[in-house]
């Protein structure tokens, strides 16, 4: 994986869009940096009685459109620069789909697979204690990201409510239904990826039902995207995780592969595929659609030069380095950007938060219908801007839409020029 600093990638993406937005330079400078970053050290007792110290972060990038919003990641690669980038991408993602949030992101630098469940719970509750003064239903609302899910969100909410002596279900989203979660949140990120894939093929004059597809990363985002693309008729020929990739030109049963991964911990060894490949081989397969759904910087310039897919729909945040973006911009490959494609997660988080505030639950059908409306409307905004300007890429066009929305909110409030 490339060593590119993701925060510098974010800043480059904003610079690229600058020529296409009516925003003064001094305001643009503020749009490129987080408002504040918490860096803290958690001291947690392990099961053997020893004390471990672990670094943790929360970046609040911009709150002009609403409370800071974004996930919490557990991964050894988590760093200050990574959460700064991820929190910035949240700002422009929420603006791209026009939901009333700013952007934040947090993470703990550890590998949860090395720890017991009770250790992960103590680590999560220690982090929640550090976060308590910063978060709140109207202040900053965390959610799941890589290696976190309903379990961790329930612990965060419980710790916050205990310390605050209150009930505040909207302080985090992505909770279990019984703890105030929303129908459809688990599938929401993969669902928006599938919607964007369908719309992308339609826009380009094709049909997702005729597409062959490779998916890198088979966690929450990747596995659901693969299942829903297969439901739309697409043929998923390859999937991967950190153990490697599996391939079958006749198509992979995406749900069986998911069950196999749940049981064994990896996709490699899945008997429903005819071949095993490396992750690099998956990324350069001759398919119609490539869905990177793992981590940032998965595709650098060298890999980009070998990509043979016609379309890329980004499920992961920041899966392409800026150099890879440049290579693809000079090619015929259409890249549909992360801040639109994976925005289903935060959109249904918003629906969850609305339900929490109203103390009223929506049906799955209502959640999915409203998600469809939000994502297709943002897709239309993207295409309208792309066709109306000389923006060289879909990413730049989407950033132009999003940056203007953030700037407008700040300017109307009188905080910015």
Ligand X SMILES: NC(=O)C1=CN([C@@H]2O[C@H](COP(=O)(O)OP(=O)(O)OC[C@H]3O[C@@H](n4cnc5c(N)ncnc54)[C@H](OP(=O)(O)O)[C@@H]3O)[C@@H](O)[C@H]2O)C=CC1
Ligand Y SMILES: O=C(O)CCC(=O)C(=O)O
Taking contact as CB under 6 A, which single stretch among the options 20-28, 46-54, 241-249, 403-411 is the one that binds ligand X? 241-249
User: What CA–CA distances, in Å, run from 261 to 59, 233, 240, 251?
Assistant: 32, 22, 10, 17
Interaction between residue 316 and ligand X (CB under 6 A): yes
- Report if residue 13 touches ligand X, rule: CB under 6 A: no
Q: Please report, as ranges, the residues that interact with ligand Y according to CB under 6 A.
A: 69-71, 93, 143, 145, 173-174, 317, 342, 345-346, 349
The count of residues interacting with ligand X (CB under 6 A) is: 27
Residue 1 or 209 with smaller CB distance to ligand X: 1
Pick the piece of the chain touching ligand X (CB under 6 A) from 24-32, 164-172, 214-222, 324-332.
214-222
Cα–Cα distance, 271 to 116 (Å, whole number)? 30
Q: Do residues 307 and 284 make contact, with C-beta atoms less than 8 angstroms apart?
A: yes
Q: Could you tell me which residues come within 8 angstroms of residue 198 by beta carbon, excluding any fewer than 6 positions away? A: 208, 232
Cα distance between residue 136 and residue 290, in whole Å: 37
Minimum distance from residue 61 beta carbon to ligand X (Å) = 15
**Quick one: DSSP state of residue 235?**
E
For residue 293, state whether it binds ligand X (rule: CB under 6 A).
yes
297 binds ligand X (CB under 6 A): no
To the question of whether residue 220 is assigned a binding role by annotation, the answer is yes
Tokens representing 274? 């005819």
Q: In which element (H, E) is residue 56 found?
A: strand 51-62
Both tokens of residue 96? Answer: 């791209």
Binding mask 153-192 for ligand X (x = CB under 6 A): ------------------------------------x---
The β-bridge relationship of strands 103-108 and 140-144 is unpaired
* Residue 60 touches ligand X, criterion: CB under 6 A: no
Tell me the C-alpha distance between 416 and 393, whole Å.
28
Q: Which of 105, 175, 258, 261 is catalytic?
A: 105
d(CA 115, CA 120) in angstroms, rounded, equals 6
Per-residue tokens: 146 = 């890589």
Backbone phi, then psi, for 12, in 5-degree steps? -65, -40
* Closest distance to ligand Y from the beta carbon of 237 (Å): 27
Known binding residue 69? Answer is: yes
Residues 6+ apart with CB under 8 A from 259: none
Q: Give the one residue of 124, 182, 212, 342 binding ligand X; rule: CB under 6 A.
A: 342
- Compute the least distance from the CB of residue 19 to ligand Y, in Å: 27
Q: Which residues contact 122 (CB under 8 A, 6 or more apart)?
A: 44, 45
The piece of 40-48, 121-129, 311-319, 321-329 that touches ligand X (CB under 6 A) is 311-319
What does the block give as tokens for 298?
């998965």
Residue number, 69 or 191, with CB nearest to ligand Y: 69
Residues with Cβ within 8 Å of residue 178, at least 6 apart in sequence:
none
Question: Is the separation of the CB atoms in 224 and 190 below 8 Å?
Answer: yes
Regarding beta strands 212-216 and 235-241, do their DSSP bridges make them parallel or antiparallel, or are they unpaired?
Answer: parallel
* Contact residue for ligand X among 38, 277, 295, 327 (CB under 6 A): 295
CB of 124 or CB of 212, closer to ligand Y? 124
Q: Is 105 a catalytic residue?
A: yes
Looking at the Cβ atoms of 185 and 385, the one nearer to ligand X is 185
Question: What does the block give as tokens for 353?
Answer: 């938060």
- Closest distance to ligand X from the beta carbon of 319 (Å): 7
**The only residue of 6, 144, 180, 322 in contact with ligand X, by rule CB under 6 A:** 144
Q: Which one of ligand X, ligand Y, none is in contact with 70 (Cβ closer than 5 to 8 A by kind)? A: ligand Y
Residue 69: CB minimum distance to ligand Y, A: 5
> Which residues participate in the annotated binding site for NAD(+)?
189, 220
Which residues of this chain interact with ligand X, rule CB under 6 A?
1, 144-147, 189, 216-222, 240-243, 266, 279, 293-295, 315-317, 342, 345
Which residues are designated catalytic? 105
Binding residues for substrate: 69, 93, 349
């Amino acid at each position: 994986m490339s060593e590119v600093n993701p925060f510098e990638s974010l800043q480059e993406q904003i610079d690229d869009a600058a020529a296409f937005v009516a925003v003064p330079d001094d305001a643009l400078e503020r749009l490129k940096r987080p408002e504040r970053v918490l860096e803290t050290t958690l001291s947690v007792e392990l099961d053997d009685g020893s004390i471990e110290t672990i670094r943790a972060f929360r970046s609040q990038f911009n709150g002009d459109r609403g409370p800071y919003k974004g996930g919490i990641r557990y991964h050894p690669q988590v760093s200050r620069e990574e959460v700064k980038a991820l929190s910035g991408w949240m700002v422009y993602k929420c603006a791209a789909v026009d939901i009333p949030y700013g952007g934040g992101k947090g993470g703990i630098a550890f590998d949860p697979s090395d720890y017991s469940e009770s250790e992960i719970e103590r680590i999560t509750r220690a982090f929640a204690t550090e976060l308590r003064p910063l978060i709140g239903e109207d202040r900053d609302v965390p959610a799941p990201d890589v290696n976190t899910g309903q379990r961790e969100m329930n612990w965060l909410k419980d710790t916050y409510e205990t310390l605050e002596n209150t009930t505040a279900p909207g302080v985090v989203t992505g909770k279990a239904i019984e703890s105030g979660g929303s129908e459809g949140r688990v599938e929401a990120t993969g669902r928006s990826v599938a919607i964007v894939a369908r719309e992308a093929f339609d826009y380009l004059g094709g049909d997702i039902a005729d597409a062959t597809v490779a998916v890198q990363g088979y966690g929450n985002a990747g596995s659901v995207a693969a299942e829903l693309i297969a439901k739309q008729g697409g043929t998923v020929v390859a999937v991967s995780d950190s153990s490697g990739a599996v391939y079958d030109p006749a198509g992979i049963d995406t749900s069986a592969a998911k069950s196999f991964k749940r049981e064994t911990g990896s996709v490699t060894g899945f008997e429903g595929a005819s071949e095993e490949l490396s992750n690099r081989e998956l990324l350069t397969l001759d398919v119609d659609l490539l869905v990177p759904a793992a981590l940032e910087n998965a595709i650098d310039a060298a890999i980009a030069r070998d990509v043979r897919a016609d379309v890329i729909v980004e499920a992961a945040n920041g899966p392409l380095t800026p150099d890879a973006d440049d290579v693809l911009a000079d090619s015929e490959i259409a890249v549909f950007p992360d801040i639109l494609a994976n925005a289903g997660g935060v959109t249904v988080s918003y629906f969850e938060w609305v339900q929490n505030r109203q103390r009223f639950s929506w049906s799955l059908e209502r959640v999915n219908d409203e998600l469809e409306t939000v994502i297709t409307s943002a897709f239309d905004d993207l295409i309208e801007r792309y066709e109306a300007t000389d923006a060289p890429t879909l990413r730049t066009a989407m950033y132009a839409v999003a940056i203007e929305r953030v700037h407008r909110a700040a300017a109307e409030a009188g905080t910015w020029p």
